[in-house]
Amino acid sequence: MTADSTGAPMSGRTVQTLPPLGLGTWQNEDPEQCTQSVKQALELGYRHIDTAQIYRNEAAVGAGIEQAAVDRDDIILATKVWNDNLAHDDVISSTEASLNRLGVEYVDLLYVHWPVENFDPERTLSAFAELKERGLIEHVGLSNFTPEQLDQVQEAASVDIDAVQVECHPLLQQEALREYCSRHDIELVAYSPLARGDVFDIPELTDIADAHGVSEAQVSLAWLDAHDVRSIPKATSRDHIVDNFAATSLSLDQEQVRTIDAIDREDRQVHPSFAPSSW
Ligand SMILES: NC(=O)c1ccc[n+]([C@@H]2O[C@H](COP(=O)([O-])OP(=O)(O)OC[C@H]3O[C@@H](n4cnc5c(N)ncnc54)[C@H](OP(=O)(O)O)[C@@H]3O)[C@@H](O)[C@H]2O)c1
């Protein structure tokens, strides 16, 4: 994943960095709406689009990429292998199917969506290594892993881990994973960076938002950026897509960052029944 100092991707593959802001697409299920959101976001300056096999919108996301006036090579496109596809051969065939639906020759980032069912650090990731060899994926990501699970993967896998995606926002600050990723030079991507709407009900964020004349959404995204965490807020409407992108011009001062750091809560929004018990 390569980007210049403004966060815009550029060709060549030497700098390990994602743009600060991308577009999430979970539950953006109406195909026309989804295509429109992706197209609008790309034309407004977004360069990272996040989808997954389980979102059932890869075709609509691909159509948005196809329709946008932006070169495919300038876009970081991420998808995720779902839980029942984690056996070696299923990783390969389901990723080929994702590429077909997306209408692209490669994805920039392919994640293991959850470390469950047939996930095996060696066997699952050997399939990721093969996909990389074949040029079908550029980078490897893991989603919903703990630092302990990341250690196990790094010991067993034959491929480098480039990105980790977890829920992260002011109500679930993920200090241990932030520290882990920084130490191992891995990109940390925050999902549900608006706490699925709960950031609008945090008095500390409202005070800071009022001081800057911006939304609480922007404050949450700017706080994540202050910690070098990349965000992928899901936004369907143009207004939300525009509002979130404005966060790339918002800088919080140290006191504001510390005020949010001090919010001592562990409010997880995404906790499916199959989540690992150690989680
Ligand atoms: N790896 C994983 O297991 C995993 C899990 C969850 C999510 N994700 C990824 O992360 C992305 C983001 O997470 P999320 O969808 O859970 O939640 P989120 O981004 O925290 O919140 C999305 C909600 O906030 C609203 N919103 C967005 N921008 C807004 C703004 N500026 N003002 C007011 N409301 C705004 C959206 O409304 P509208 O849609 O109406 O614009 C939507 O209801 C997902 O879409 C997906 O790509 C990954």
Per residue in 24-57, pLDDT tens? 999 999 999 999 999 999 999 999 999 999 999 9
Residue 158 lies in a domain: yes
Domain range for 93? 18-198+229-239
pLDDT tens digits, residue range 116-149? Answer: 999 999 999 999 999 999 999 999 999 999 999 9
Per-residue tokens: 35: 């295509």
pLDDT of residue 9: 43
Distance from the Cα of residue 145 to its chain's centroid: 14
55 is catalytic: yes
Residue 147 lies in a domain: yes
Residue 83 lies in a domain: yes
Residue 36 lies in a domain: yes
Average pLDDT value for residue range 200-228: 98
Residue 234 lies in a domain: yes
How far CA 128 is from CA of 63, 81, 209, 228, in Å, comes to 25, 10, 42, 26
Is 196's C-beta closer than 6 angstroms to any atom of ligand 1?
yes
Q: What is the number of domains present in the chain?
A: 1
CA of 233, closest atom in ligand 1? 19
Residue 263 lies in a domain: no
Residue 60 lies in a domain: yes
pLDDT of residue 11: 38
pLDDT of residue 1: 56
Which CATH number do you get for residue 48?
A: 3.20.20.100
pTM: 0.95
Is 190's C-beta closer than 6 angstroms to any atom of ligand 1?
no
Residue 11 lies in a domain: no
Average pLDDT value for residue range 11-21: 64
Measure CA of the first residue to CA of the last residue in the chain; give whole Å. 28
